Structure 1
Amino acid sequence: MLRLRNRLLPLLRATSSSHASASSSPLHLRLLLLSTAAATPFSVEDYLVATCGLTGAQALKASKKVSHLRSPSNPDAVLALLSGVGLSGADLAAVVVAEPQLLCARADNIARRIASLRDRVGLSEPQIGGLLLAGGATVVHRCDVTPRLEFWIPFLGSFEMLLKILKSNNSILRSSLERVIKPNIALFQKCGLSVCDIVTMAQTAAWTLTFNPERLKVVLERAEKLCVPGHSSAFKYVVCTVARIDEGKIAARMELLSSTLGCSMDELRSAICKSPQVLGISEMKLRAKIEFLVTKVGLEIDYILRRPVLLALSLEKRLVPRHYVVEALAVKGLIRKDLDFFSCVCMRDEVFVAKYIDHHENALPGLADAYAAVRAGKLPAQV
C-alpha cells in the first residue's frame, strides 16, 4: 500500500496545477487508483506468502506448480471454502504446501465436493478439515472422492482409521475402486487373508492395495512359494517384503541363510514364517549377524533358527551393545553366565537399561557410559 501511494503521489501532483477541479473528484481518483493497481503484475510467490502463509522457500517451490495464475480471485474463493470447514491459517498453509494446484481448481467444484462429503458421507466440518490435512486435498482437487469414502470408511471400520492410513499414504483414495482396489482385496481374500488382516496390512503398507492387480498376482505367487500360509499373521509381512525386493535377491538370501546356518530349505522356510522381515536384510548384514551370534555370543544354529528375529535386530544398536553389558556383568559375577541371550535383546531399551545397567550402577560404575559408547560405535565391544 505504501509503494502504491508513493507511485500515485507524483501523478496526483502533476495533474493538480492544470486540472485541479477535475482531479479532485472522487471518481477521477478512484479510476486512477484502479489503473495503477492494474499495472502492478500479480505475483504468485507474494500471494502464497502474504495470503496463504507459506515461507519464502515453500512459496518458491509451490509457485512453479501454479505459475499460470494471473489474479487472486480464484485462489481467494478456494481459500474461503477451506476456511469454511474450520481450517486455521496454519492448516491452510499446510494444505497449499501439500497440493498447491488446489488453488487453481474451480471454486464451484470444490464447493460441491465439500457439500457431498457433508451431506452424503455424513462428515462434520472438523472431519472434512482433517481429511484435507491428511492428504485428501490432493484427491478432492482432482475428483469427487465421496464414492471412495463411502467404500473405505465401512471397510476400514471408522473414519479415524482412514485418516490414520491417509497420513502415511493417500494412494488408496487416488486408486480406482473397480479396476484396482476391489480386485486386489479379492486376491488377498483368496489367499486366506480376512478383512481384519487386510486392514492391519493397510496401516503400514497401504501401497500393496494399489498395485496393478496383475502385478499383485505375481507378488502373491512369490509369497506362496515361501510356503507361508495365507491365513498366518506372517503372510502379510511376507507380501510386503517380496513386493519390495527383486526375486533374485530373495533367492540369494535364502541360499545364503541355508548354507551359512547349515539347514535345509524346509527348515529355513519354517523360520521365515516366524520372521519374514529377515528377507529384507542384505546378504552382507545377514552374514555379519550370523558370525557375531555364533562366534562371539556362542549361540547354536538351532537356537537361532528357533528365534530368527535375532537376525532382524540391529547388530550395532542392539546385539553388540547388549552382549557387551551382559558379558561385563557375567565376568563380575553379577549375573549368571548362562543367562538367555534372546530374552535380553528382545526387551525394550528402557527395561534393559533399568534391569541390567541402572540396577548394577554401584557395583559396576561407568557401565552406562560404556553401553552408550558401544552403541555409538566409539568403543570396541570387548569387556
Structure 2
Amino acid sequence: MLRLRNHLLPLLRAASLLPSPLHHRGTLLSTSASAAPFSLEDYLVATCGLAPAQARKAYQKALDGATKAKPSGELCYSRLNSASNPDAVLALLSGVGLARADIAAVVAADPLILRSSVKNIGPRLLALRDRFGLSAPQIARFLLVGSRALRGCDVGLHLEFLLSFYGSFEQLLVVMKRNNSILWTDLERVVKPNIALFRQCGLSVRDIVQMCSRCPWLLVFNPERVKEFVVRAEELGVPRSSRMFRHAVVSVASISKEKVAAKLEFLKRALGCAETEVAIAVSKMPSILGLSKECHLRRIQFLINEVGMEPQYIVERPVLFSLSLEKRLIPRHCVMKVLQANGLLNSNMSFFSLAKIREETFKLKFIDCHKDSVTGLADAYAAARAGGVPPKSNL
C-alpha cells in the first residue's frame, strides 16, 4: 500500500501543473461564480489537443455514454463539471509515459475516461506499466480499445490470464480489437469453462488460441451456447478428430442454423449436385459457409464457363471456393492461357493445380522463369490482379 501511495502521489501532484484554467474564444473557463461555466467541449480542444470536429464528436460520446442531458445540454455528472477530475486523469496518463498525441487519441476514442475515478484507474494504469511491463506506446494502444474495461473494473486478473493464454500482448491486442468484452467477461464461469470444453473436444491449446483469435466471442458466449456450436459443427459432418473441426466451430458460430441450411440448398442448386455431395464439400472446407451467395455464384460461373470445369469436379475440390476470384483465379487463368498459347506449359498441368500453389511459388515457377520468353507477362499478371485488363499487345 505504501509503495502504491508513493507511486500515485507524484502523479496526482502533477495534475496541478497541467494548463488550467483554460482560454477559448477569449473567454476564461472555470467554475467560479464570476466566470463562464466549464465547457467539456472547449476543454477537449484547449487542453486535450483534439481538433474542433473531434471534440464535438467526443463530447457527444460523453453525453450519450454515461451522462444525462439537461435541457441546456450540460453534462450532469459531477466529475465533468469542472477541469479538476479531467486534469487529474490527464496527469495519470502523462505519468505512465503517454505522449500528448497518444493522450489526445485515447480521449477522442473514449472521452468518458476523463470522468474516471482517479483512485481507481491510477493503480490500474500503473499496473499496466509496472506489473505487466507494457511500454508507453503499448499502454496507449491498449487504452484505445480497452479503456472502457480499465475504468470499469480491475483488469489485472484478466490480463494475467489472457496474456498467458494468447502468448503475447500483440496477439491479445488483435483479439481486443475484435471483441474487447474479453477483458471483463467472467473468467471462472465463462472463459475458462469454454476453453475446457474445447480441450475436451480434442483441440490443442494452440488450436484454441488460433480459433479464438479469429472468433474471440467463442470465449465470451455462455458455455451452454458454445456447446450448441460444438454439436452443430458435428452435424455438418465434421468429427472432433478432424483438423477441420475448429474451422467448423468458427463457421457455425458466425452464421445461424437457418442460414447454413439456406447456403447448403443454394450450393446444391447452383452446382446441380446431390445434397450429400455438397455436405461432403462443406465438411472438407467449412469456411465456405461464411461466403455470400453472390461470391459463390460468381466463382461457379467463372470455373464452369471460363475454365471449363464440371460441377462435379468443383464440388469435389471445395478449396476452390476459398480462393479469391479477383486476386487468384482470374489472374492465374490469364497466365495459364498465355503460357499454353506459347507452348510453355506442361499439358498435364490442370488449372486446379496451378490455382492452389502458394503465391511466391507461382510467381517463381510461372512468371519469373518466363520473363524472357514472354515479354510483359509479369505486367499482365499484375494488371489482372489489380482488376485491370492485361496488355495483350505485349503477349
If the length of structure 2 is used for normalisation, what is the TM-score?
0.77
1:204 maps onto 2:214 in alignment: yes
Q: Which residue of 2 aligns with 1:232?
A: 242
1:45 maps onto 2:41 in alignment: yes
* Letter aligned with residue 48 of structure 1: L
Q: Which residue of 2 aligns with 1:162?
A: 172
Alignment map for 1:347-366 (pairs within 5 Å): 347-349=357-359, 351-366=361-376
* Letter aligned with residue 64 of structure 1: Q
Q: Which residue of 1 aligns with 2:91?
A: 80
Q: Which residue of 2 aligns with 1:108?
A: 119
Q: Which residue of 1 aligns with 2:66?
A: none
Q: Pick the aligned partner of 2:297 from 287, 296, 301.
A: 287
Deviation at 1:2, TM superposition (A): 12
- Conserved 8 A contact 1:49-1:59: yes
C-alpha separation in 1, matches of 2:289 and 2:192? 29
Deviation at 1:264, TM superposition (A): 4.9
Secondary structure at 1:39 match in 2: coil
1:239–1:193 distance in 2 versus 1, CA, 3 Å: same
Alignment size in residue pairs = 357
C-alpha separation in 1, matches of 2:252 and 2:162? 26
C-alpha separation in 2, matches of 1:250 and 1:5? 59
Deviation at 1:105, TM superposition (A): 0.7
Q: Pick the aligned partner of 2:107 from 83, 87, 96.
A: 96
Structure 2, unmatched stretches of 5+, are 1-20, 64-74
Alignment map for 1:29-44 (pairs within 5 Å): 39-44=35-40
Q: Which residue of 1 aligns with 2:133?
A: 124
1:376–1:225 distance in 2 versus 1, CA, 3 Å: same
- Conserved 8 A contact 2:31-2:37: no
- Conserved 8 A contact 2:129-2:135: no
* Letter aligned with residue 51 of structure 2: T
**How much is the aligned-residue C-alpha RMSD, in angstroms?**
3.5
Q: Which residue of 2 aligns with 1:70?
A: 81
Alignment map for 1:119-268 (pairs within 5 Å): 122-124=131-133, 126=135, 129=139, 132-133=142-143, 135-258=145-268, 260-261=270-271, 264-268=274-278
1:60–1:242 distance in 2 versus 1, CA, 3 Å: same
Deviation at 1:61, TM superposition (A): 0.8
Deviation at 1:351, TM superposition (A): 4.6
- Conserved 8 A contact 1:165-1:203: yes
Deviation at 1:279, TM superposition (A): 1.4
Deviation at 1:194, TM superposition (A): 2.9
Secondary structure at 2:216 match in 1: helix
Deviation at 1:139, TM superposition (A): 0.6
Deviation at 1:362, TM superposition (A): 4.3
Q: Tell me which structure has the larger Cα radius of gyration.
A: 1
Deviation at 1:291, TM superposition (A): 3.3
- Conserved 8 A contact 2:109-2:144: no
Structure 1, unmatched stretches of 5+, are 9-32
